[in-house]
Amino acid sequence: MISGVFRVRRWAPVGVFTSLAYCLHQRRVARAELRGADDQKAVDRSLLELKMVQVVFRHGARSPLKPLPQEEQVEWKPQLLEVPPQTRFDYTVTNLAGGPKPHSPFDSRYHETTLKGGMFAGQLTKVGMQQMFALGERLRKKYVEDTPFLSPTFNPVEVFIRSTNIYRNLESTRCLLAGLFQRQKEGPIVIHTDEASSEVLYPNYQNCWNLQERARGRRQSLALQPGISEDLEKVKEGMGITSGDGVDFLILFDNVAAEQVHSLPSCPTLRRFARMIERRAVDTVLYILQSEDRKRLQMAVGPFLHILESNLLKATDPATPPGKTRKLYLYAAHDVTLMPVLMALGIFDHKWPPFAVDLTMELYQHRESKEWFVQLYYHGEINPYILKIPPPPKQPLGLCSPIA
């Protein structure tokens, strides 16, 4: 329950928060709560007017991306792909300029892997569709019913939608919109996507040479890290998997998470070590990304953070013409997007982002002082820390641009 009056520590003026991209420059996001006289200051919730919402979310539950090399495998049957009627909602996919939908090399690759039971790798399931519909309903309750901010039916003037060009993300977005607007619309739903070569909604290792080179050495030395290598061998030995098969904690956790959310029978060894596998999967990502390495995080998610920052700046700039901003921005992303974004913001909880999780950013203006405030939510929960971010960069960020 959120009370009518918010402590200052829960709100950050946009003059402090304004650049999500530049938060990677010079210092990390401050997580310490304000103390002293400032801590006694409060912001009256009734004087804050909601102006814009940005939601970055992970797709819903899916099949694993790569099966484990063992004789006894979980069956992924096509019945898991049944589409719930309440999630049906027509949409169109275009490139960022409004042209034809780009080719998806990822979907082509997933279709090369058929899992036991007949499903392809990485397919959104009925469970995933229901998760996304539920997220849409939660957003509807907050921004349509509890606070009359959005229209009850989809209006393209109010909503901008962008997704990675991967089918499970496009379909997850459809389900979210069906829940949010109860399958009612006043205009066409257009989901914007980009070419894989220039996509910024995930760390683009394949098309960012600097990021790829920085990660390659870390991946090669990962097996030598004390604790990680021993734990990996323990799990693989229990499953009867040989050492040189390319299985790591990321693949193990991907299978564990997918099987658990669908209530499918996992290998006994996977069930026994499930918590350790998740912890080591997170350790693996932290090691590869080097969360303390400012430049690596910049190249991983700096361009995407700049997009979020630009939306904030446009909304707060009195010179922005009417109609150039939207009330709601939706970004369908991935776990590998959210982890470095949360690290950059200083709010990563060292837990793997679950399916259908969301990071929501609300922009408010004080009716009297005209100051701007930002509130963050992760997984529907308020972030209790004030976020201090230096002034924004003068130049926009490209796909592989570190911040100077």
Angle between helices 167-181 and 126-140 (to 10 degrees): 40
Q: Are 360 and 50 in contact (CB under 8 A)?
A: no
Closest CA to 161 of 58, 310, 56: 56
| The total number of residues written for the chain in this structure | 404
For residue 343, give the nearest of 57, 55, 29 by alpha carbon. 29
Is 379 a catalytic site residue?
Answer: no
User: Which two three-digit tokens encode residue 368?
Assistant: 């009297």
Beta bridge pairs of residue 328: 53, 159
Which candidate in 194, 248, 254, 335 is catalytic? 335
Asked if 111 is an active-site residue, the reply is: no
Structure tokens that stand for 133 in this block:
């519909």
Question: CA dist 71 to 51, 117, 260, Å?
Answer: 55, 14, 19
Q: Which of 25, 59, 306, 334 is catalytic?
A: 59
CA distance 90 to 400: 34
Structure tokens at 143: 């921004």
Strands 372-378 and 328-333: unpaired
d(CA 402, CA 298): 5
Q: What are the residue numbers of the active site?
A: 59, 335
